[in-house]
Amino acid sequence: MTTVPALADRRIAALAALAIGLQVIEAAIPSPVPGIKPGLANVITLVTLVTLGWRAALAVTLLRVMGSSLLLGTVLSPGFWLSLAGALAALAVLAPLLRLYPRHLSALGLAVTAAMAHTLGQFLLAWAVIIPHPQLPLLLPPLLLAALITGLVTGILTASVLADPRIQRHVFDPSTNQSG
Amino acid sequence: MIRLRWGDGVVVALATALVTTSFALSYAPAAGPTHLVVTQAGTEPRHYPLNESRTIRVQGVAGITEIEIQSGRARCLRSPGSRGICEAAGWLERPGDMAVSLPNRLTLQVQGPQRRFDSMHY
């Protein structure tokens, strides 16, 4: 007997696959400074969040962190925990802000918030557990500046993805938008 | 294309403020060095204030090292080392800057109110 996955499950799987793909591609791009990268997978998290709600966004995020670290060979390494901490911090801040979308806050505001929370969450874990060095806060300002810039970029990307009718046809469905 | 809302302005303003504050707190210009510490093998480290110009002559095993202090900074003016390494360190003007004369077995370091790292690598 075969079971057909529910529509929501298939959507989550498809979005997680996209996010994993983006994160793996991004890992191949050399970065001038460790810890600074565009965070394109965040676009998928945001699209999931505003179309399917925060539970689906949490599922996609966890699948992305686990799936991409399996492919990159970083499961349970410091990078894995940093990735997880950043992703969960971003979601924790985004979930309450979702009430303001789209009337008071657009995808741009969500993306900037997510990027800043991601960087701060990662930094706090790094400082508290992985590298508890008194001079580590010197790294925070450039990382936050990078988060602001990449947040603006991913926000613009998210808004254009959400505005695209081809994406809306596949992803957006008002009947499943009740959980948000 | 993006329909911006007032919340976006608030978020971007708060994020910019956070970035600016973090830069200001972390990279506030450090106070300049206040004194020169001359450490020579076999003697107690000697401290000299940097706010008065003077020339110090230190007798070492290889000869005399001449140190110049001028307007809040110090340099190794002459030293017996044949390769001029001590002189090549130039003006020591940031806390932690250092000049070394191995023949005379001494180090010169300018220090501020707090000890700072001279470099960071990661």
pLDDT in tens, B54-86: 999 999 898 999 999 998 889 999 999 889 899
**Using the beta-carbon criterion (under 8 Å), do B22 and A140 form an inter-chain contact?**
yes
Work out the minimum CA distance from B100 to partner chain A, whole angstroms.
Answer: 26
Cα end-to-end distance, chain B, whole Å: 42
pLDDT at A155 > cutoff 90: yes
Work out the minimum CA distance from A25 to partner chain B, whole angstroms.
Answer: 25
**Using the beta-carbon criterion (under 8 Å), do A105 and B22 form an inter-chain contact?**
no
Residues of chain B contacting A124 with CB distance shorter than 8 Å: none
The full set of domain ranges for chain B reads 35-111
d(CA A93, CA A110): 9
Question: Which of B8, B16, B27 lies nearest to residue A148, judging by beta carbons?
Answer: B16
Give ipTM to 2 decimals.
0.82
In angstroms, how far is CA B72 from the centroid of its own chain?
Answer: 11
Q: What is the pLDDT of residues A81-125, one digit of tens each?
A: 999 999 999 999 999 998 888 889 999 999 999 999 999 999 999
pLDDT of residue B26: 83
Higher pLDDT, A21 or A177: A21
* Strand locations in chain B (E): 35-40, 46-49, 54-59, 64-70, 73-78, 98-101, 106-111
Q: Does A109 touch chain B (CB under 8 A)?
A: yes
Q: Does B23 touch chain A (CB under 8 A)?
A: yes
Work out the minimum CA distance from B7 to partner chain A, whole angstroms.
Answer: 5
- For residues A106 and B8, is the Cβ–Cβ distance under 8 A? yes
Q: What are phi and psi of A179, to 5 degrees?
A: -70, -25
- The superfamily (CATH) of domain B35-111 is N-utilization substance G protein NusG, insert domain (2.60.320.10)
pLDDT of residue B115: 66
**Using the beta-carbon criterion (under 8 Å), do B3 and A106 form an inter-chain contact?**
yes
Computed over every residue of chain A, the mean pLDDT equals 87
Q: What are phi and psi of B76, to 5 degrees?
A: -90, 110
B30: pLDDT confidence band, cut at 50, 70 and 90? low
In angstroms, how far is CA A109 from the centroid of its own chain?
Answer: 14
Q: pLDDT over 90 for what percent of chain A?
A: 59
Question: Which of B1, B11, B12 lies nearest to residue A160, judging by beta carbons?
Answer: B1
Residues of chain B contacting A116 with CB distance shorter than 8 Å: 15, 18
